[in-house]
Amino acid sequence: MSINIRIAGVSHWFASPEDPVLDGVNLNLDAGQTLSIVGESGCGKSTLLHMIAGMLQPRTGRVYVGGQPALAPNPRWNIMFQRSALYPWLTVVKNVALGLEFAGIRKGRRARALAMLERVGLADRADAHPQDLSGGQQQRVALARSLVVSPSVILLDEPFSALDTFTRSDLQAEVLSIVAEQGITLVQVTHDLDEAVIMGDRIAVMERHPGRIHGVIENRMPAPRQPGRPGFAEMRDELLAAFGRARRNPLSTDTRPSQAPVAVNA
């Protein structure tokens, strides 16, 4: 079942209230939509993702997932990090099946894990151990573990940043296809503007220090959104311009150009 996400007036600080990491973040995502979050290093992207995952509570405001406050981690919304740990003593298929075990699913674990491995192109390595796989293959296993539970929401924190261009492109396409097929709501943090355009129906651009939503761009490109296709370069240029403005105004929104074309449609 698809579910929506609502980030309502979220502010946060770690060390001191005088040094907020997030300030007044509002963002809505419809059920089954995909959102890319971009912004300079340290602007609070991962912090926001942790809040959606229920791993961290904002000092003020609230995150709602499927209408419920995200007060604790939930197996139906899955977070995957840049380097998701696999267990070296378990085979690939057992690592994937662990996702099902964590979600409390008892029956048919191996068959479901194998089907998902097939999906990410690793069925033939099911009985290998993670350390015998390449970095890209290990990320595929981690992805399979996240997706095998048919989560309602998947949260990806730069999952493909260490991968070569071709592997990254394959995995982007595979994630988008699974997400569309299962109606999963996707939030992905990325530093790669091409990836932001490829993955996001909407793209949130953040300012830094404190972390704020500078604007949200509605991605007008129809799927498949691939570099070189009509409209891709325009979307990327629009994003790059918004990113540049967000960087130029890290400490204040007062100097933001009034003609900024970014749709603040949070």
Beta strand spans in 176-224 (E): 185-189, 202-207, 212-218
Helix (H, G, I), strand (E, B) or coil at 97: helix
* 94 or 212: CB nearest ligand ATP: 212
* 44 or 159: CB nearest ligand ATP: 44
* 43 or 186: CB nearest ligand ATP: 43
Positions that interact with ligand ATP (CB under 6 A): 14, 21, 39, 41-47
Smallest gap from Cβ 155 to ligand ATP, in A, equals 12
| Residue 159, preceding peptide bond in cis (omega within 30° of 0) | no
Smallest gap from Cβ 72 to ligand ATP, in A, equals 17
* 46 or 78: CB nearest ligand ATP: 46
Q: Which amino acid belongs to residue 35?
A: L
Cα–Cα distance, 202 to 217 (Å, whole number): 6
CA angle, 193 then 120 then 180, to 5°: 60
- Cβ contacts of residue 111 below 8 Å, gap of 6+? none
Smallest gap from Cβ 234 to ligand ATP, in A, equals 26
* 60 or 226: CB nearest ligand ATP: 60
Smallest gap from Cβ 44 to ligand ATP, in A, equals 4
Contact 129, 94 (CB under 8 A): no
Smallest gap from Cβ 116 to ligand ATP, in A, equals 27
